[in-house]
Amino acid sequence: MSQSGIALSIVIPVFDERDSLPELMAWIEKVITTNAIEPAEVIFIDDGSADDSWKVITELQQTYPRIKAIRFRRNYGKSAALQKGFEAAGGEVVITMDADLQDSPEEIPELMKMINEENYDLVSGWKKNRKDPVSKRWPSKFFNAVTRSASGIKLHDFNCGLKAYKNEVVKNIEVYGEMHRYIPVMAKWSGFKKIGEKVVQHQARKYGKSKFGWQRMINGFLDIMSIMFVGKFGKRPMHFFGTLGIIFFMIGFGILGYLSILKLGRNIFKISERPVFFFGILTLIIGAQMFLTGFLAEMISRNGPSRNKYRISDTIGIDMKHLED
C-alpha cells in the first residue's frame, strides 16, 4: 500500500463530455465493487468544458463519494489535465482513461494485476481493433511507427488513453504541451524500464465528438523532438549545443585561417573572390550562435521551468493550495 492507503486512482481528463459521464461512472463503480478494489478514488479533471460537465461531476459526487475533481479555469489540454491528476493521485496503482466511453473499465482488474503482480512500471492499452474512422487510424499508425523507432520502445499504441502505472512513475514524469502521447517514452527516460502492453476493448464514440484533429497532431510531432532532446540533453544542453558550436567554429576558423595564410604568403588574390570565404564566415557565425544558445539553455534549465502552472477554479476532495504550487 502507498502512504495514502489507496489501492487505485483512476484519472480521467474531461473536455465537454457531459453526456458520457453518468454512464462511465456507473460502469467504473460496478467494476470496482464487483472486484472489491478498495479503497479506490476516481479523479475527474474538467478542463474548462463549455458544456455542463462540471455540474454533472458535482452531482455524481453526491452518489459516488469516491469521486474527486479538479476544474481548470480555461482549456489547457489533455496533458495539463493528466499532470494535475497525477499530482493528486494517491493510489498505489494509477489508471488513466478517456471520459468518452471508448475505453472499457472492464480492463481495470487485469491492468492492476499486471502492475501489482507482474511488476510492470507501466502498461499501455493497445486498441488492436480500433473503432475510429480511417482518418484517425492511419495517421496514428504512422505516428506509432515513428515513435517506436525513435524511442526503441516496442509498443503498438502509444497514444491509448487507457494506461496503468505504478504511483512512483506518475510522480516522476512531467506531462505538458501535447506530451501525453509520449508518456511511455518519458517513463523510460526517467528510468522505468518494465513497460508492457495489453490488448484492450475499444468502443465507437457514443456521445459528443472527437477533440483531436490535425492541428493537435502537428503539435504532437513537434513534441517528440523536444522529448528526445530533453531526455538526452535536458540537464546538460551545453553538451549538445557546445559540440555543434565547436564543430562549426573549427570549420570556419580553419577555412579563414587557410585563406589568410595564402593571402599573406602570395598576396595575389582578393580574399572575397574565393567563394569558400563566405562559407567560412557563415560557419564561424553559426558556431558562435550555437555556443550562445547553449549558454542560454544552461541558464534556463538551471532556474527550473514553471510551465506547470494552471489556474484552477474549483476542486472536490482535493487540497487546492497544494495543487497550484
Alpha-carbon gap, residue 99 to 56, rounded angstroms: 13
Alpha-carbon gap, residue 290 to 230, rounded angstroms: 17
| Position 11 contacts ligand GDP (CB under 6 A) | no
Question: DSSP readout, 38-90?
Answer: -SEEEEEEEES-SSSHHHHHHHHHHH-TTEEEEEESS---HHHHHHHHHHH--
**Piece in contact with ligand GDP (CB under 6 A), picked from 31-39, 164-172, 196-204, 206-214:** 206-214
Alpha-carbon gap, residue 21 to 24, rounded angstroms: 5
| Position 75 contacts ligand GDP (CB under 6 A) | yes
Return phi, psi of residue 312, to 5°: -105, 130
Q: Which is nearer to ligand GDP, 13 or 91 (CB)?
A: 13
Return phi, psi of residue 311, to 5°: -85, 125
C-alpha cell at 139: 495517421
Q: Which is nearer to ligand GDP, 106 or 132 (CB)?
A: 132
Work out which of 100, 121, 197, 223 binds ligand GDP, going by CB under 6 A: 100
| Position 107 contacts ligand GDP (CB under 6 A) | no
| Position 161 contacts ligand GDP (CB under 6 A) | yes
Q: Which is nearer to ligand GDP, 54 or 291 (CB)?
A: 54
C-alpha cell at 22: 453518468
Alpha-carbon gap, residue 260 to 266, rounded angstroms: 10
Q: Could you tell me the maximum CA-CA distance found in the chain, to the nearest angstrom?
A: 92
Q: Cβ of residue 289: shortest distance to ligand GDP, in angstroms?
A: 36
Q: Which is nearer to Mg ion, 96 or 102 (CB)?
A: 102
Question: Cβ contacts of residue 276 below 8 Å, gap of 6+?
Answer: 255, 259
| Position 102 contacts ligand GDP (CB under 6 A) | yes
Look at residue 196 and give the partner it binds from Mg ion, ligand GDP, none, a contact being a CB closer than 5 to 8 Å depending on partner kind: none
Per-residue contact string for residues 190-209; x = within reach of Mg ion by CB under 5 A: --------------------
Counting residues that bind ligand GDP (by CB under 6 A) gives: 18
Work out which of 2, 109, 190, 212 binds ligand GDP, going by CB under 6 A: 212
Q: Which of residues 83-122 bind Mg ion (CB under 5 A)?
A: 100, 102
| Position 153 contacts ligand GDP (CB under 6 A) | no
Return phi, psi of residue 152, to 5°: 75, 10
| Position 13 contacts ligand GDP (CB under 6 A) | yes
Q: Cβ of residue 169: shortest distance to Mg ion, in angstroms?
A: 23
Alpha-carbon gap, residue 269 to 45, rounded angstroms: 71
Q: Which residues here bind ligand GDP, judged by CB under 6 A?
A: 13-15, 17, 45, 47, 75, 77-78, 81, 98-100, 102, 161, 210-212
